[in-house]
Structure 1
Amino acid sequence: MSKSVVSPEKGFNRMHSRDLIFNSLAQTFTTGHNESIVEEVNDYSYLQRMFGDTRLNNLRMWAVILIVAFGTSIIAAIIDISAYNIGYYKKIFCQSLENKYLGFLAWTVISIIFVCIGTSLGYFLNPDVDGSGIPEIKAIISGVELPRFLLWRTFFLKALGLVCCSASLSIGREGPHIHLAAIIAHKCLKIHTFKGIGKFKAFCTQIFQASVTAGVAAVMGTPLGATFFSIEITASYYVVHTLISSIACGVICAVILNVYHSIYLTEDFSHGKNYVDYNYIDLALVSILGICCGVLGVAFIKTAKTFTRFRARRAILFLHKRFRYAIFVAIVYSTACFFIPTLSYTAKSVFNELISEKELHRDWSDRTVINLLIYSFCKPFVTALSISVQIPFGIFLPVLDSGAAFGRAFGYLANYLGGSAHASFYAAIGGASLVASSTHALSAALIIFELTGEIRHVVPMMLSVVISCQIAKNFELNIYDVTIQTRNIPFLPAVRKDILYQHCAREIMEPVVSLCVHSTLKDLKPCLQYEDGFKIPIVDLSMCIVAETSARRIKKYLEYSIETFTIDAIQEVKQEIKLWVNHQEYNPPSITTFLGEEMEIFLSSPVDFTSRYFSLNRDPLSVPESTNLSKIHYIFHMLGLMKIFVTQHSKLVGIINRENFTAYNK
Structure 2
Amino acid sequence: VGAAFVHATASLVQLVRELRISLNELDKPREEGDTPIRRLLRCQLSAHDVLAALLSRYGYTLIVAFTSAMLTFPFGFFRSSPQEVINQLFGSARFELTARWANPSLIVNLVIFTVCKFVFTCIAVGCPISCGVYTPVFLIGASGGRCFGELLNMVTPESYPITAGGYAVVGAAAMAAGVTRTISTAVIVFELTGQLNHMLPVLVAVLIATAVGNSLNASIYDTMMQLNNLPYLRPLSVTVGRRTAQDVMDTSVLALSCPCTYMDARDLLWQGRFNEFPVVDASGLLIGSVSRATLE
**Would the TM-score normalized by the shorter structure come out above 0.5?**
yes
1:363 Cα shift? 1.4
Match of 1:306 among 2, 6, 11: 11
1:439 Cα shift? 0.6
Query: 1:328 maps to what in 2?
Result: 63
- Secondary structure (helix, strand or coil) at the match of 1:481 reads helix
Query: 1:579 maps to what in 2?
Result: none
1:437 Cα shift? 0.5
Query: 1:4 maps to what in 2?
Result: none
- Secondary structure (helix, strand or coil) at the match of 2:130 reads coil
Match of 1:429 among 170, 187, 212: 170
Match of 1:411 among 124, 149, 152: 149
- Cα distance in 2 for partners of 1:357, 1:372 equals 16
Kindly report which structure 2 residues correspond to 1:378-527, keeping only aligned pairs within 5 A, or say none. Answer: 378-415=116-153, 416-417=155-156, 420-496=161-237
Kindly report which structure 2 residues correspond to 1:579-618, keeping only aligned pairs within 5 A, or say none. Answer: none
- Secondary structure (helix, strand or coil) at the match of 2:73 reads helix
1:460 Cα shift? 1.4
- Cα distance in 1 for partners of 2:275, 2:196 equals 53
- Cα distance in 2 for partners of 1:397, 1:351 equals 10
1:344 Cα shift? 3.5
Ranges in structure 2 where 5+ consecutive residues have no aligned partner = 24-51, 240-270, 277-296
- Cα distance in 2 for partners of 1:545, 1:493 equals 34
Which amino acid in structure 2 is aligned with residue 329 of structure 1? V
Kindly report which structure 2 residues correspond to 1:240-255, keeping only aligned pairs within 5 A, or say none. Answer: none
Query: 2:33 maps to what in 1?
Result: none
Is the CA contact 2:222–2:232 (under 8 Å) kept in the aligned structure 1? no
Match of 2:99 among 362, 368, 371: 362
Is the CA contact 1:314–1:320 (under 8 Å) kept in the aligned structure 2? no
- Cα distance in 1 for partners of 2:237, 2:55 equals 36
Is the CA contact 1:380–1:399 (under 8 Å) kept in the aligned structure 2? yes
1:496 Cα shift? 3.7
The answer to whether the aligner puts 1:348 opposite 2:83 as a matched pair is yes
1:359 Cα shift? 3.2
Deviations 1:49-93 (A, max 9, x none): xxxxxxxxxxxxxxxxxxxxxxxxxxxxxxxxxxxxxxxxxxxxx
Is the CA contact 1:383–1:395 (under 8 Å) kept in the aligned structure 2? yes
- Cα distance in 1 for partners of 2:198, 2:224 equals 33
- Cα distance in 2 for partners of 1:483, 1:458 equals 31
Structure 1 residues 489 and 545, CA gap change in structure 2 (3 angstroms)? farther
- Secondary structure (helix, strand or coil) at the match of 2:224 reads helix
Deviations 1:124-144 (A, max 9, x none): xxxxxxxxxxxxxxxxxxxxx
- Secondary structure (helix, strand or coil) at the match of 1:301 reads helix
Ranges in structure 1 where 5+ consecutive residues have no aligned partner = 1-295, 499-543, 547-617, 621-666
- Cα distance in 1 for partners of 2:101, 2:93 equals 12
1:429 Cα shift? 0.8
The answer to whether the aligner puts 1:373 opposite 2:111 as a matched pair is yes
Deviations 1:96-142 (A, max 9, x none): xxxxxxxxxxxxxxxxxxxxxxxxxxxxxxxxxxxxxxxxxxxxxxx
Structure 1 residues 370 and 494, CA gap change in structure 2 (3 angstroms)? same
Kindly report which structure 2 residues correspond to 1:65-76, keeping only aligned pairs within 5 A, or say none. Answer: none
Percent sequence identity over aligned pairs:
28
Deviations 1:5-25 (A, max 9, x none): xxxxxxxxxxxxxxxxxxxxx
Structure 1 residues 494 and 471, CA gap change in structure 2 (3 angstroms)? closer
Which amino acid in structure 1 is aligned with residue 193 of structure 2? T
Query: 1:599 maps to what in 2?
Result: none
Structure 1 residues 320 and 452, CA gap change in structure 2 (3 angstroms)? same
1:320 Cα shift? 6.2
Query: 1:523 maps to what in 2?
Result: none
- Cα distance in 1 for partners of 2:11, 2:272 equals 46
- Secondary structure (helix, strand or coil) at the match of 1:321 reads helix
Deviations 1:496-553 (A, max 9, x none): 499xxxxxxxxxxxxxxxxxxxxxxxxxxxxxxxxxxxxxxxxxxxxx996xxxxxxx
Is the CA contact 1:311–1:320 (under 8 Å) kept in the aligned structure 2? no
Query: 1:159 maps to what in 2?
Result: none
Deviations 1:279-338 (A, max 9, x none): xxxxxxxxxxxxxxxxx2122111111111112222785696121111111112112222
Which amino acid in structure 2 is aligned with residue 381 of structure 1? V
- Cα distance in 2 for partners of 1:344, 1:380 equals 17
Which runs of 4 or more aligned residues in structure 1 lie more than 3 Å from their structure 2 counterparts after TM superposition? Answer: 315-320, 417-420
**Cα RMSD (Å) of the superposition?**
2.5
1:408 Cα shift? 0.6
Which amino acid in structure 1 is aligned with residue 68 of structure 2? Y
- Cα distance in 2 for partners of 1:375, 1:471 equals 25
Deviations 1:409-467 (A, max 9, x none): 10011222476431011011111110011011121121111111110221111122222
Kindly report which structure 2 residues correspond to 1:645-664, keeping only aligned pairs within 5 A, or say none. Answer: none
Structure 1 residues 454 and 474, CA gap change in structure 2 (3 angstroms)? same
Which amino acid in structure 1 is aligned with residue 92 of structure 2? E
Is the CA contact 1:343–1:379 (under 8 Å) kept in the aligned structure 2? no
Query: 1:517 maps to what in 2?
Result: none
Structure 1 residues 465 and 411, CA gap change in structure 2 (3 angstroms)? same
Structure 1 residues 338 and 304, CA gap change in structure 2 (3 angstroms)? same
Structure 1 residues 463 and 321, CA gap change in structure 2 (3 angstroms)? same
Structure 1 residues 545 and 348, CA gap change in structure 2 (3 angstroms)? farther
Structure 1 residues 460 and 358, CA gap change in structure 2 (3 angstroms)? same
- Cα distance in 2 for partners of 1:320, 1:477 equals 31
- Cα distance in 2 for partners of 1:330, 1:310 equals 18
Is the CA contact 2:114–2:144 (under 8 Å) kept in the aligned structure 1? yes
Structure 1 residues 490 and 362, CA gap change in structure 2 (3 angstroms)? same
Task: Calculate the TM-score normalised by the size of structure 2.
Answer: 0.64
- Cα distance in 2 for partners of 1:375, 1:398 equals 11
Deviations 1:605-663 (A, max 9, x none): xxxxxxxxxxxxx659xxxxxxxxxxxxxxxxxxxxxxxxxxxxxxxxxxxxxxxxxxx
Is the CA contact 1:484–1:491 (under 8 Å) kept in the aligned structure 2? yes
Count of residues paired in the alignment: 209
- Cα distance in 2 for partners of 1:619, 1:420 equals 72
- Cα distance in 2 for partners of 1:357, 1:420 equals 11
Structure 1 residues 301 and 369, CA gap change in structure 2 (3 angstroms)? same
